[in-house]
Structure 1
Amino acid sequence: MTNSGKVTDVDEDIILKGCSPRCEDGIADLFMAEVQPPFRGKCGTTAEAVLEMQKLHFSILAHELNNFLHCIQNSIYMAKDGLKDNSGEVESLLEYCERAAYNSVHLVRNYSMFIKGGAGNCEASEVDVVDIARTSAKMLLHDKRINFLFRTDNNAEYVFGGETQLYQLFFNLLKNAKEAMVGNRITIKIDISRTSIGTGHPDSLMPGEYSIIKITDSGAGIDRHSIQYLFDPYFTSKKTGTGLGLLTCLWIVKSHKGVITVDSEIGKGTIFTILLPVCARY
């Protein structure tokens, strides 16, 4: 890691091994870290490697908590306006606050357990990504400047994983889409469908049924040079960015045995595509 904070010469596989160890149920937990020997070699001494990993973990904790707290703050602001107008949306907005608060508590609890030497608790279960995507959009995209579109082939799409982590995934991607706004208007679309993956997939996905999640925005777009570094720790092209949101997304998708890709063009917008394996009985 350089003095500027950017990690250099560290392979993705090394970072993933260092930051996404396994939970007892087989789902990788984003924040339970162990320092692998290759990573130690890149950083120098074991102590230096541990220190750098701790810095990265706490930076991500602050980043993700900020996302959830932003949702609480935004929902409370809208609820207050709703009370003035005697709006029927107030109950829903308060439920969004409750959900964001729950996710925050769960996030901090996992960190606390790790610091105390525990294994953490992923609480992996069958979760509906359609419901998580729709709820995340309602929490983040309640803005008259945003034209939001939502399309799905199924009313529900279940994957096996961590609910809080999947909320983090959508929060980060939707927040990025919102911040790509040029002028005072932007269109953001979520499209969820299903596909079958056979053998020999270029990303080494296991054969089976997968949920395809596409998050598209009509914003500023990303240049080709930046795209190759998007998932690197601390890389950002935004003045107020941390370079941690997309890294978090990568870890979450990898831990759910999926893949995430990006396609973008300056002036036309960006598409993030995520493939996640669906539960066998669905």
Structure 2
Amino acid sequence: MNHFIDVEIPNADLNRTLHAFLDAKDQLHFSELAFYHYQSFGGTDTDAAETLGAGIELLILAFDIFDDLEDEDSPDEPWMKINRSVAMNAATALYTISIKVISSVSKEPVFFEKLMEYILQSMQGQHDDLSNRPATEDECLDMIKRKSGALTALPCVLGAMLATGKFDPAVEKYAYQLGIASQIENDYKALFYDSKSDIAKKKRTLAYLYLSRKFNQPSIDLLKTFETEDKIADKEIKCYKEKLKAAGVTQYMYGYITFLNQAWTTLTGYSVEESLGTMYNDYFDHEERISNHLIAQLKNKEPEGRIEVLYHRKDGSKFWGEVHYKLYYKNGQFTSSLGTLTDVTERKKAEMELFKSNQRLAMQSQKLAMAGQLAAGIAHEVRNPLTSVNGFLQLMKAEYPDRKDYFDIIFSEIKRIDSVLGELLVLAKPHQVQFKKININSVLQQVATLLETNAVLSHIKIEKAFQHGEEWEINGDENQIKQVFINLIKNGIEAMPDGGKITISSEVEGDYVKISIKDEGGGISQADLAKLGEPFFSTKEEGTGLGLTICLNIIGAHNGEMKIDSELGEGSTFHILLPIDKGAASEENDIQQGCCSRATIK
């Protein structure tokens, strides 16, 4: 942050003043929010994230100075110890620098629009706060949302937008709630500060507006205190806190723990003694669903309920707790609650694994469906004109007999295009395949011979570590099995641009014949291994991401599976396991297979 001040402010005195202001800033919560959201949404440019964070902290510091100068509190801050006009001008300089820094990280118009939207919202909320305008609790909450919620939403939303380029309303929604909760906490603490007391300023805070309903005697007594006194004497603090609890202010704005048994220590690691008097929500992740649940329960005067919450242990670990609670009311007002806490971590993990598995399956199914539609469209759009081209070329071939070699090459390539389109249709719709007995080593020999020329041109040796005469038979479609081997060997060739060796081997493993195709390429990262086989995912710059998907469909149709061993810098080995034919199905069979029959990678 100091760097940006040095770049933008050549005036030595103002420069020193701003550095002194920065030195007083000991927390960087807002830049952390921006950075965490940037990383969580896949951002990788650390410099951009740090620049955004620095700009946001400069903006927040400027707003803090404006707020202190307007409220005339925080006397120990450096900006409160100098001429107010000089401090205001310095804060304006910080504000201007912050806008310039934040705007520099993204040229997207919506990024700047959201930045200014949150700044203007906060300024309007601050205006209502300074004017003491809220007349109801709802109006006060709306003011807090604009004043503090907007400033919390700013780093969260901009951090996510910098990573994705898109505005995420879900991020904005929970960030507002986080800002509101933080401000309510500060407002409660401000009830006890001599120099910053809302009592002294006669402010219409959430606590004051809540008490204005006068639903019990403690609330009436406290309201009188707010209206007639400027501060609470030290000796009266304890009585004051008791009145806040009796009036329901503490429970309304907070939720202090007043009783625990020893099971609490067993579950959380915190002793009963150190936990009493602390906030109930100090021990779990703050989520919007939790606050929404509790607000709805209290609003509807529900007598009991249950909720699952992610708790923090004292040692830093976390566990899922199921809370069953009862809510107590007096004269229609919530007064307290009593609950039990059960560790349900193992059950929650099982539920989450099932949910993730279902999500993966749903996504895979959606991608396969998309791939099928794409393949069908390509086949239809390309095959029709290809048929016409083929027909006219047949006519031209008769007119140019001296160009027979050229035409043969053209027809061969047209046939190959048609074959590729046919392969794509494996993804598109159910198709009929011809299953029969296949000698697997014979197929491997044919494929190896077919690709040897390609391999030699790429300075690659194909080593055949299998016995050509070995009688290992499977029941399957020979052309499709060949396609699997061709695809995998070609991938190996492409993985070794500087040459190397591909080893093809086969062996029996239980009731399966295992074919292994090993290359000496750069290997595959664990992150990419987890995605292999997904439609449209490819580790090659110009890959379509369909080759391995087709292979998996074919292997699945043959009741087989694929395993991959790979390490970066060590090459990759693809193992295909296909069930050995035991002679039970010696006849040829036509079997309907569709895109849903699919092997998995293990």
Give, in whole Å, the separation in 2 of the partners of 1:13 and 1:131: 39
SS in 2 for 1:233: coil
Give, in whole Å, the separation in 2 of the partners of 1:110 and 1:272: 22
The letter for the 1-side match of 2:503 is: K
* Shift, 1:254, TM fit: 1.0
Query: Is the contact between residue 504 and residue 515 of structure 2 (CA under 8 Å) also seen in structure 1?
Result: yes
Give, in whole Å, the separation in 2 of the partners of 1:102 and 1:163: 18
Query: Is the contact between residue 375 and residue 425 of structure 2 (CA under 8 Å) also seen in structure 1?
Result: no
The letter for the 1-side match of 2:445 is: R
Query: Is the contact between residue 441 and residue 467 of structure 2 (CA under 8 Å) also seen in structure 1?
Result: no
* Shift, 1:110, TM fit: 10
* Shift, 1:130, TM fit: 1.2
Give, in whole Å, the separation in 2 of the partners of 1:104 and 1:126: 26
The letter for the 2-side match of 1:137 is: A
Aligned pairs for 1:187-266 within 5 A: 187-196=501-510, 209-266=511-568
Query: Could you say if the C-alpha distance between residues 179 and 250 of structure 1 is closer, same or farther in structure 2, counting changes exceeding 3 Å?
Result: same
2:373 aligned partner:
54
Q: 1:162 and 2:481 equivalent?
A: no
Aligned pairs for 1:11-90 within 5 A: 11-12=360-361, 15=364, 53-56=372-375
Q: 1:146 and 2:448 equivalent?
A: no
**More displaced 10-residue stretch of structure 1: 135-144 or 229-238:** 135-144
Percent identical: 27
Give, in whole Å, the separation in 1 of the partners of 2:545 and 2:433: 24
Q: What TM-score results when the alignment is normalised by the length of structure 2?
A: 0.29
Query: Could you say if the C-alpha distance between residues 111 and 243 of structure 1 is closer, same or farther in structure 2, counting changes exceeding 3 Å?
Result: closer
2:51 aligned partner:
none
Give, in whole Å, the separation in 2 of the partners of 1:262 and 1:221: 11
Structure 2 residue aligned with 1:181, among 496, 516, 522?
A: 496
Give, in whole Å, the separation in 2 of the partners of 1:102 and 1:124: 23
Query: Could you say if the C-alpha distance between residues 159 and 178 of structure 1 is closer, same or farther in structure 2, counting changes exceeding 3 Å?
Result: same
2:448 aligned partner:
137
SS in 2 for 1:194: strand
> Relative contact order (alpha carbons < 8 A, sep ≥ 6): 1 or 2 greater?
1
1:171 aligned partner:
486
Query: Is the contact between residue 523 and residue 568 of structure 2 (CA under 8 Å) also seen in structure 1?
Result: yes
The letter for the 2-side match of 1:54 is: Q
Query: Could you say if the C-alpha distance between residues 124 and 176 of structure 1 is closer, same or farther in structure 2, counting changes exceeding 3 Å?
Result: same
Query: Could you say if the C-alpha distance between residues 221 and 124 of structure 1 is closer, same or farther in structure 2, counting changes exceeding 3 Å?
Result: same
Query: Is the contact between residue 159 and residue 279 of structure 1 (CA under 8 Å) also seen in structure 2?
Result: yes
Query: Could you say if the C-alpha distance between residues 138 and 236 of structure 1 is closer, same or farther in structure 2, counting changes exceeding 3 Å?
Result: same
Which blocks of at least 5 consecutive residues in structure 2 are unaligned?
Answer: 1-357, 384-410, 585-602
What do residues 138-177 of structure 1 show as CA deviations (whole Å, max 9, x unaligned)?
2123233111111225623211111111111011101100
Aligned pairs for 1:120-131 within 5 A: 120-131=431-442
Query: Is the contact between residue 214 and residue 271 of structure 1 (CA under 8 Å) also seen in structure 2?
Result: yes
Higher helix share: 2
1:28 aligned partner:
none
Give, in whole Å, the separation in 1 of the partners of 2:443 and 2:574: 17
Query: Is the contact between residue 512 and residue 580 of structure 2 (CA under 8 Å) also seen in structure 1?
Result: yes
Give, in whole Å, the separation in 2 of the partners of 1:273 and 1:182: 22
SS in 1 for 2:550: helix
Give, in whole Å, the separation in 1 of the partners of 2:485 and 2:544: 17
* Larger Cα-atom Rg: 2
What do residues 118-151 of structure 1 show as CA deviations (whole Å, max 9, x unaligned)?
x642011111221222211221232331111112
Give, in whole Å, the separation in 2 of the partners of 1:231 and 1:109: 16
The letter for the 1-side match of 2:485 is: F
2:399 aligned partner:
none
Query: Is the contact between residue 153 and residue 193 of structure 1 (CA under 8 Å) also seen in structure 2?
Result: no
The letter for the 1-side match of 2:486 is: F
Q: What TM-score results when the alignment is normalised by the length of structure 1?
A: 0.58
Give, in whole Å, the separation in 2 of the partners of 1:252 and 1:175: 17
The letter for the 2-side match of 1:55 is: L
Give, in whole Å, the separation in 2 of the partners of 1:103 and 1:281: 37
Report the number of matched residues. 193
Which blocks of at least 5 consecutive residues in structure 1 are unaligned?
Answer: 1-8, 16-38, 44-48, 66-96, 197-208
Query: Is the contact between residue 141 and residue 178 of structure 1 (CA under 8 Å) also seen in structure 2?
Result: no
The letter for the 1-side match of 2:479 is: T
Give, in whole Å, the separation in 1 of the partners of 2:437 and 2:537: 33
Give, in whole Å, the separation in 2 of the partners of 1:126 and 1:161: 6
* Shift, 1:107, TM fit: 7.1
What do residues 205-224 of structure 1 show as CA deviations (whole Å, max 9, x unaligned)?
xxxx2101000001111111
Query: Is the contact between residue 130 and residue 152 of structure 1 (CA under 8 Å) also seen in structure 2?
Result: yes
Give, in whole Å, the separation in 2 of the partners of 1:245 and 1:105: 14
